[in-house]
A = this chain, B = another copy of it.
Amino acid sequence: MKSSSKVYLNQQFLPKEKAFISPEDRGFYFADGVYEVIKYYKGYPFCFDAHMTRLRNSLAGVRISFNRFDELADICDRLIEENRLISEYAGVYIQVTRGVAARTHSFPSNDVTPTLYIRAFPMPTFLSEMRNGVRVISRDDIRWLRCNIKSIALLPNTLIFQEAMEAGAFECLLIRDGKFTEATHSNIMMVRNGMVFTHPDSNLILPGITRTKVIKLCSALSVGVIEKPVKADDINSIEECFITGTGSEIIPVVMVDNTVIGNGKPGPVTRMIQKAFFKITYEELAGEKITVNND
């Protein structure tokens, strides 16, 4: 018998079907909220504190006063347990909005309590994609100029990602002013002259937690990192490309639009970084060995 999945809303654990919000929630009227997604490796969250720090930064960025940080780890753990995800690869989604108030663009009074919504769900590993690499498309980056805030105003991301899906691609790289920024829900890394290029932290990209981890792993592996955007016109000079993210982890990109990257197979720098990443996630947290080399 399949039991209904449980979610957390405001102060309660509820069957998903019984969780409801008001249409006057500012998350529904104005996209006035932020979120996080954390991956749990058989019950163990990866970089939980970094996600909390980013959540704090996003909330500060949109000026939402939220003071329930101390409760979040326990709520997430309980959702992982109650949804029988403790032996699985799972995601926990946390959304905080400014709360329910009569619709005016300006903030409601301070006594409005932010809405807190948390859910857990299976997050299977993209094993085949991580092994074989994926094809992506590219589009203009039409998003707002505060992409460092992980806001729920994701309409542009969904519209562009849908185009990727329809093109049979795995993701879509975004280009602003002729330079790659990031993808619709992952960061971009490109290898040139054996070094990893990625867009610097700025208002144009999300400060990815996997991205930060990869930059650290590169140092440990003596791979140079250059935080500088790659020009879209320079795509032909790219030796390797991969995207990073909580869900994507490290997925090689072997084709961008009609351009084959390198020899069309995941390259050696990507493989080295993948292996180092799997060590600190699957191996160290979940006790499982992931292999990506097919040969």
Contact = CB atoms under 8 A, between A and B. Distances in A.
Interface of A: 7, 9, 16, 19-32, 62-63, 93, 95, 97, 103, 105-107, 117, 119, 140, 142-146, 151-159, 161-162, 165, 184-185
Contacts of A32: 154-155, 158
Number of copies: 2
B105 A162 contact: yes
Contacts of A93: 103
Contacts of A157: 30, 105
A106 B21 contact: no
Contact of A162 (B7, B106, B159, B161): B106
Nearest to A160: B105
Contact of A29 (B62, B154, B162, B165): B154
Shortest Cβ-Cβ A-B pairs, 4 listed: A31-B31, A20-B20, A105-B161, A142-B145
11 contacts: A16-B24, A21-B28, A25-B28, A27-B28, A30-B152, A30-B158, A62-B159, A105-B158, A106-B162, A107-B162, A153-B153
Given A20-B21, A21-B23, A22-B19, A152 B29 contact: yes
A155 B28 contact: no
A182 to B, nearest CB: 14
Nearest to A154: B30
A126 B16 CA distance: 43
Contacts of A22: 19-21
